[in-house]
Amino acid sequence: MRYLTFALGKGRLAERTLELFEQIGITCEEMKEKDSRKLIFINEELRLRFFLAKGPDVPTYVEYGAADIGVAGRDTILEESRKVHEVLDLGYGKCRMCICGPKSAAGYLKRRELIRVATKYPSIAKDYFYNVKHQTVEIIKLNGSIELAPIVGLSEVICDIVETGSTLRENGLSVLEEVCPLSARMIVNPVSMRMESARIKDLIQRLRAVI
Ligand code: PRP
């Protein structure tokens, strides 16, 4: 039997995913060793391989078939728009993609003015403003601490993830519009989906039962 390979987004998401897999009897003890620099982990008995990748790289590994299955946030899956099948909402990592800014920026959105939008997700922001709202905007790509942008005058609003809302509150910003809900999703390579359909369907079914 060939190995089924999983790409997991590093960090909290991977921890939650491994917890979930444990519930259906899939364990990978080597992966829990916190100080290990090892990149790939094997469960010989079940013929499974796991590796940790940067979140936005997970859909890339899955599209090219270097991983059969991936777990990543819906934000990165949408942003990367790779040719993969999204098969399961894992239910954790729940948050929202929102347009945020100072309350005073609400009018720019209402009047569909040409404003600047700072974001780590240029593709999601572009789709929202151009295809959903039909508003022409300038999108400015940033790599983190997006909330800074409207505070220092780089942009009028931001398109970013809101989980508890405390980053916004502590910086005097608010949610102005909601783009879409987000959570962790399981994605599958389209060829693997056909070639390993029995194993993958069984996995999805067992996960569904515990989610
Ligand atoms: C994310 C997001 C917000 C924050 C939202 O940033 O970009 O800044 O979390 O969470 P909250 O609503 O619970 O405050 P992250 O910490 O991932 O880092 P980043 O700013 O570098 O993107």
pLDDT tens digits, one per residue of 106-164: 999 999 999 999 999 999 999 999 999 999 999 999 999 999 999 999 999 999 999 99
Find the 167 Cα to ligand 1 centroid distance in Å. 7
At residue 38 the predicted structure's pLDDT band, cuts being 50, 70 and 90, is confident
> What is the per-residue pLDDT for 28?
78
Name the closest-CA residue to atom 16, ligand 1: 145
Q: Which residues line ligand 1 (CB under 6 A)?
A: 120, 144-147, 160-167
pLDDT per residue over 97-110, tens digit each?
999 999 999 999 99
What is the predicted pLDDT for the residue at 185?
98
DSSP string spanning the chain? -PPEEEEEETTHHHHHHHHHHHHTT---GGGG-TT----EEEETTTTEEEEEE-GGGHHHHHHTTSSSEEEEEHHHHHHH--S-EEEEE---S-EEEEEEE-GGGHHHHHTT---EEEES-HHHHHIIIIIIS----EEEE-SS-TTHHHHHTS-SEEEEEESSSHHHHHTT-EEEEEEEEE-EEEEE-HHHHHHTHHHHHHHHHHHHHH-
Hey, whose CA ends up nearest to atom 14 of ligand 1? 167
Cβ(188)–Cβ(85) below 8 Å? yes
Q: Is the pLDDT score of 81 beyond 90?
A: yes
pLDDT: which is higher, 31 or 16: 16
What is the mean predicted confidence (pLDDT) over 190-207?
97
Structure tokens belonging to residue 4: 């089924």
Q: Which amino acid is it at 47?
A: R
